[in-house]
Structure 1
Amino acid sequence: MTTTHEFWLAGRRATGDAEFEVHHSYDGSLVGKVSVPTDAQVEEAVDAAVTVAPALAATPAHVRATALDHVARRLTERTEEIARLITAENGKPIKWARGEVGRAASVFRWAAEEARRTNGETMRLDTDPGGVGRFAVVRRFPRGVVLGIAPFNFPLNLVAHKVAPAIAVGAPIILKPAPATPLSALVLGEILAETELPAGSWSVLPVPNEKMPALVQDPRLPVISFTGSDKVGYQIMDSVPRKHVTLELGGNAAAVVLADWSSEADLEWAATRIAMFANYQGGQSCISVQRVIADATVYDALVEKVVAKVRAQVTGDPSADATDVGPLVDENAAKRVESWVDDAVAKGAKVLVGGTRDGAAYAPTVLAELPEDAILATAEVFGPVLSLHRVDSTDEAFAAVNDSKFGLQAGVFTHDLQTAFRAHQVLEVGGVVIGDAPSYRADQMPYGGVKDSGVGREGVKYAMGDFTYEKVLVLTGLDL
């Protein structure tokens, strides 16, 4: 008999009057049942968060830091258990699930450190005659309760990127996990319940998507942190123009391989990284490699290596240590990827490897000669599919990167320092990775995009900035 998982209402376990099932995308087995909060319970969680907000904001830094350290430690201690849960609810290969737990632990560790060292700043104001005797202290204070809306692709780490910064700044958070993958967030709630954070500081509410508009528009929740599709993200922003909304949205990340990246070792490294990060997480990452833009002088040799590396990706049971690529989150996701590839082929693209679906799994796929009018040429595939493009110069390569409505991250394989700085200047993205795929992310660095890839930044310190506002204290009549 499968146990129904309780949710977390203002820091305590609770059950509602309905439930839904979570199934394993690899074999369809039932992973668990999850209780759904009632409207009254959601109201109770919001009211508790609003009530506790002043006390939580005034909590000493050491209290918040100690709680965050505890979460980091317990995640590390329970790594294998939680990784197995992520694989079961998400279909992510266990090797990547273990890495996700490790990253989430580091997010909470970084948050604990930032909570201890966030001191604000001071400034003397007598730089002008009217400021003689005046001195300013600038501190940051929570904007209010945070509504965190998390996606399915990183069901623990992207939850951590909302919860940890909120706790670090002393802002209560209402967390809404993705319906497909709520179990990891509920385990995080279990760990948070072991801390001494005041009741109401956090809730984990598996609210159905159709009931979210009321929460989004609730004036008592002035900050919304959303990670997901650009369509939904901008619908949220447009519906609440007076709220502080941060959006981490999609991408169609490009890996650029320039002419100077031409040795056998260079191309072997580029092909290895491209193949790995076009397919890790089943391609269900906002910064997975979707486009490879290669200089004509290295294109043919690179293509041969990329195809071989993609063909070598081990697919199958995500619980097996050797598996590189598991299923997508569900069969509908795989069918959508299949339809987009079919559309590209019908319009003239050539499949060099892959191009087949088996249930919720889609084979790692490489396309060449992708026509501009194919859906895959402009949209985010969110699946294990990459396309290869030949260019004749660095200018053409960078223009191709920018020829997109998205702008999250780009990878540029070059040894030239001037080219690296030029890429940083001209590429319309939130991050440029030199000598590697665009899929690299350190959890303490600012992470986010431009154009339709969103607004605001994740990365603990930077999210803390989004969750707070500056307040100035001016002292007068001082002998400076």
Structure 2
Amino acid sequence: MVKTIEKQKLFINGEWVETEDTYRIYNKYTGDVFSEVSIASPELVDKAVVAAAHAHKHREFSPDNRYTVLLRVAELLKQNRDDFANAIAQEGGKPITDALVEVNRSVSTFELAAEEAKKLVGEIIPNYNAQGRFLYTIKKPVGIVAAITPFNFPLNLVVHKVAPALAAGNPVIVKPASDTATVSLKLCELLEQAGVPKGYVQCVTGGGSTVGEQLLNDQRIAHYTFTGSPSVGKHIQRTIGLRKATLELGSNSATIVHSDGDVEQAAARLAKMAFANAGQICISVQRILVQRSVEKQFMKAFLQHVGELKVGDPLDPTTNVGPMISEKEVRRIEEWVNEARDSGATILTGGKRRGNIYEPTVITNATKGMKVVDEEVFAPVVSVATYDTIEEAIDLVNDSKYGLQAGIYTKDLNLSFKIPYLLEVGGVIVNDTCCYRTDQMPYGGVKESGNGKEGPAYAIQELVETVTVVVNVEG
């Protein structure tokens, strides 16, 4: 029997639009066609912006309505949990157990954003040297928000942009990653069911050089929220000028294993988080720094745990590491690892590929100047290095153009308090890996890891304008 592939329509101005131009999305493990998505023409992208602009100016979306709609979406997502997780596993290659976690996190993100919709309050300004004046501020929606989203968390990273934008009262236009666009369109179905006002959510698919560029050059868009590479982030900032952007960019995050930390616990946790989602996580453990005195103990336990990881079909609930997003990306990381090996690095395990799968790979003797150290690998590859003093470890973490998150295992209370001031990163995780995020926390980096913060309570403050009001009470 030939499987029928449903053609996914775009969501524009509260309507589902089908186009002749389409993009095929493949199951990343089997290679079979998973879905076929309509591609937005320039005319449809413009129509989406026009609809968003009209909604912003003429359709009321009150805070209490935003709260109700966002909670309703969270409930609908719970009811459709398995359907979304299966879509994430097939079009994204994420192991099904991790995909289910992503759906659950997305539910929480909607719930958190709903609560923030009720907290958008201004303040009264103390009346110093301004007799006869009453000063206060209000918060109002910034305007149209363009959300340009990645493939690696095709649901939750979309939700982290859409939910705060709506909570703040802004219309949002989503341009999802082409290889995982089905999930975004399915989310739009739930938003429609939940009662989001017409024009407040649009979803347009297509390439960054076409649809993305059109959105960047449209002056009607007030704010851009983007997760992706530093090169694209820099291009966005150059293109949009003084308009605002929240940019969550690359990383080569490190975790320190200090001799006074729980070495066995660190080894087990790092083995899992270095290869979660095939290493395709912005805060994935890419560099492990182990104090020399515990190197042998750590490496023995770490390699044992890595060897126990099951690699294969993401729909198998026992799978730990699934395929990467494309064979092109697998070939890229294969070249990087081979380049490192030829330059003196040692591959302790892995270093092989089959189809879209790259085996969990552990490298030692990798040095600065190698791509596996300097760049964001975004693949199931981790390098392990040693250090003698904590000052040396701090210097190694900071010797990077990135600065998203870092982790440290230590039982030294003084060190745990001091080290956040010493590391050049946006987040420090104590007694866990750098690859930790909970959805309510402020999340974002420094240097080439971007600017601005995600997390509904923090993102929403960047999606409103603070307006100062001065009333002359004697006038």
Distance 1:291 1:366, change over 3 A: same
Q: Where do 1:70-149 residues align within 5 Å?
A: 70-125=72-127, 128=128, 130-149=129-148
**1:340 maps to amino acid:** W
How many angstroms does 1:273 deviate by? Answer: 1.1
* Residue 471 in structure 1 maps to residue 470 in structure 2: no
Q: 2:18 aligns with which of 15, 19, 34?
A: 15
How many angstroms does 1:115 deviate by? Answer: 0.3
| Separation in 2, partners of 1:180, 1:59 | 32
**Does the 8 A contact of 2:75 with 2:107 survive in 1?**
yes
3-state SS, counterpart of residue 194 of structure 1:
helix
| Separation in 2, partners of 1:475, 1:300 | 70
**Does the 8 A contact of 1:289 with 1:438 survive in 2?**
yes
* Residue 333 in structure 1 maps to residue 329 in structure 2: yes
Partner of 2:150: 151
Report the more deviating stretch, 135-144 or 164-173: 135-144
* Residue 278 in structure 1 maps to residue 270 in structure 2: no
How many angstroms does 1:335 deviate by? Answer: 0.8
3-state SS, counterpart of residue 439 of structure 1:
coil
How many angstroms does 1:242 deviate by? Answer: 1.7
**Does the 8 A contact of 1:3 with 1:32 survive in 2?**
yes
| Separation in 1, partners of 2:27, 2:277 | 15
Structure 2, unaligned runs of 5 or more:
none
**Does the 8 A contact of 1:12 with 1:193 survive in 2?**
no
Partner of 1:53: 56
* Residue 38 in structure 1 maps to residue 41 in structure 2: yes
Partner of 2:453: 457
Partner of 1:357: 353
How many angstroms does 1:10 deviate by? Answer: 1.6
3-state SS, counterpart of residue 286 of structure 1:
coil
3-state SS, counterpart of residue 222 of structure 1:
strand
Structure 1, unaligned runs of 5 or more:
none
| Separation in 2, partners of 1:86, 1:449 | 26
For 1:63-117, what per-residue CA distance to the aligned partner results, in whole angstroms no more than 9, with x for missing partners?
0110000111111111111100000100000011001111111111001000012
For 1:177-227, what per-residue CA distance to the aligned partner results, in whole angstroms no more than 9, with x for missing partners?
001100110010000111222211110111222212121111001211111
| Separation in 1, partners of 2:328, 2:206 | 21
- Cα RMSD (Å): 1.2
* Residue 225 in structure 1 maps to residue 225 in structure 2: yes
**Does the 8 A contact of 2:10 with 2:18 survive in 1?**
yes
How many angstroms does 1:133 deviate by? Answer: 4.4
| Separation in 2, partners of 1:84, 1:197 | 25
Task: Normalising by structure 1, report the TM-score.
Answer: 0.96
How many angstroms does 1:341 deviate by? Answer: 0.5
**1:208 maps to amino acid:** G
Partner of 1:375: 371
Partner of 2:426: 430
| Separation in 2, partners of 1:198, 1:77 | 22
Partner of 1:421: 417
**Does the 8 A contact of 1:11 with 1:189 survive in 2?**
no
| Separation in 2, partners of 1:425, 1:456 | 19
Partner of 1:160: 159
| Separation in 2, partners of 1:292, 1:387 | 6
Report the more deviating stretch, 245-254 or 7-16: 7-16
How many angstroms does 1:146 deviate by? Answer: 0.5
| Separation in 2, partners of 1:278, 1:120 | 43
Runs of 4+ deviating beyond 6 Å = none
Distance 1:413 1:91, change over 3 A: same
How many angstroms does 1:233 deviate by? Answer: 1.1
**1:210 maps to amino acid:** S
For 1:215-254, what per-residue CA distance to the aligned partner results, in whole angstroms no more than 9, with x for missing partners?
1111001211111011111111112212111110110010
Partner of 1:207: 206
Q: 2:405 aligns with which of 403, 409, 413?
A: 409
| Separation in 1, partners of 2:442, 2:92 | 26
| Separation in 1, partners of 2:374, 2:260 | 28
**Does the 8 A contact of 1:17 with 1:38 survive in 2?**
no
Task: Normalising by structure 2, report the TM-score.
Answer: 0.97
3-state SS, counterpart of residue 20 of structure 1:
strand
Between the two proteins, the alignment pairs up a number of residues equal to: 470
**Does the 8 A contact of 2:42 with 2:214 survive in 1?**
no
**Does the 8 A contact of 1:315 with 1:323 survive in 2?**
yes
**1:389 maps to amino acid:** A
For 1:420-469, what per-residue CA distance to the aligned partner results, in whole angstroms no more than 9, with x for missing partners?
12111010000000000011101111100000000111111111111112
Identity %: 39
Partner of 1:394: 390
Partner of 1:68: 70
3-state SS, counterpart of residue 421 of structure 1:
helix
3-state SS, counterpart of residue 384 of structure 2:
strand
| Separation in 2, partners of 1:417, 1:158 | 34
**Does the 8 A contact of 1:17 with 1:37 survive in 2?**
no
| Separation in 1, partners of 2:433, 2:139 | 36
For 1:115-151, what per-residue CA distance to the aligned partner results, in whole angstroms no more than 9, with x for missing partners?
01222222322xx3x2234332222212210011000
**Does the 8 A contact of 1:25 with 1:331 survive in 2?**
no
**1:26 maps to amino acid:** Y
How many angstroms does 1:371 deviate by? Answer: 2.5
| Separation in 1, partners of 2:32, 2:198 | 36
**Does the 8 A contact of 2:61 with 2:197 survive in 1?**
no
Report the more deviating stretch, 204-213 or 386-395: 204-213
| Separation in 2, partners of 1:410, 1:471 | 36
**Does the 8 A contact of 2:310 with 2:319 survive in 1?**
yes
**1:395 maps to amino acid:** E
